[in-house]
A and B are shown apart, each in its own frame.
Chain A
Amino acid sequence: DADVTQTPRNRITKTGKRIMLECSQTKGHDRMYWYRQDPGLGLRLIYYSFDVKDINKGEISDGYSVSRQAQAKFSLSLESAIPNQTALYFCATSGVAGTTDTQYFGPGTRLTVL
């Protein structure tokens, strides 16, 4: 089974709708991240969390919110989706405190906002 899972894998929605993307991990990692990827722009950090009570904004947090429901679960919400939020979204995790900062990625969610 995959260590980092994301649901849904694909989603098509309409402008103004609320959308939640979910991420779960079995790696036992403390740190979790949400990125979006657009063609030619690489990965951009939306939010990150170092533990359940520590959530931080990344480079492009406007229009997004997150919830860390448990050590293993980190959800990303688009309160009112807009077309320029069409992108590939990745969740990533990295190790426990004091260890490597290598990040491991989920399979991604392809979101299309019409």
Chain B
Amino acid sequence: QKEVEQNSGPLSVPEGAIASLNCTYSDRVSQSFFWYRQYSGKSPELIMSIYSNGDKEDGRFTAQLNKASQYVSLLIRDSQPSDSATYLCAVNLDSNYQLIWGAGTKLIIKP
């Protein structure tokens, strides 16, 4: 069974702090990894994709990938109340363009 696991939360972080979200996956051949943000009742929107081991930074967001340990994480620096949302981790299934989704981590940024 190929799975993607996330802590459901909620993860509560003070405004201005760093929020750290984690995701583990079971399929060693996975090649593409994605973080999406979803506000309540809205559709998921892409934050970042990462394909290689290491860090990838985009503004306040940093994705970290460690294929040997089979985890991918998302760091949000200088957290803002508008970052409060559910964050979904998705991993490709081999190379046939299907994504396997985690159930999401609910993040709450406290003013």
Contacts and interface: CB of A to CB of B under 8 A. Distances in A.
Given A41-B103, A42-B101, A107 B42 contact: yes
Given A101-B32, A102-B49, A31 B97 contact: yes
Interface residues of B, number: 20
Contact of B45 (A31, A41, A45, A105): A105
Interchain residue pairs A-B with the least CB separation, the first 7 = A42-B103, A105-B43, A43-B101, A101-B97, A42-B101, A108-B43, A105-B44
Nearest to A48: B98
15 contacts: A31-B97, A41-B103, A42-B101, A42-B103, A43-B101, A58-B98, A90-B44, A101-B99, A103-B34, A103-B99, A105-B43, A105-B45, A106-B43, A108-B41, A108-B43
Nearest to B34: A102
Given A40-B103, A42-B103, A43-B88, A104 B98 contact: no
A101 B32 CA distance: 8
Taking residues whose C-beta sits less than 8 angstroms from the other chain, chain A's interface range is 20 to 34
Interface of A: 31, 40-45, 48, 50, 58, 88, 90, 94, 100-108, 110
Contacts of A40: 8, 103
Contacts, number: 46
A61 to B, nearest CB: 13
Contacts of A58: 98
B111 to A, nearest CB: 26
Contacts of A108: 41-43
A114 to B, nearest CB: 20
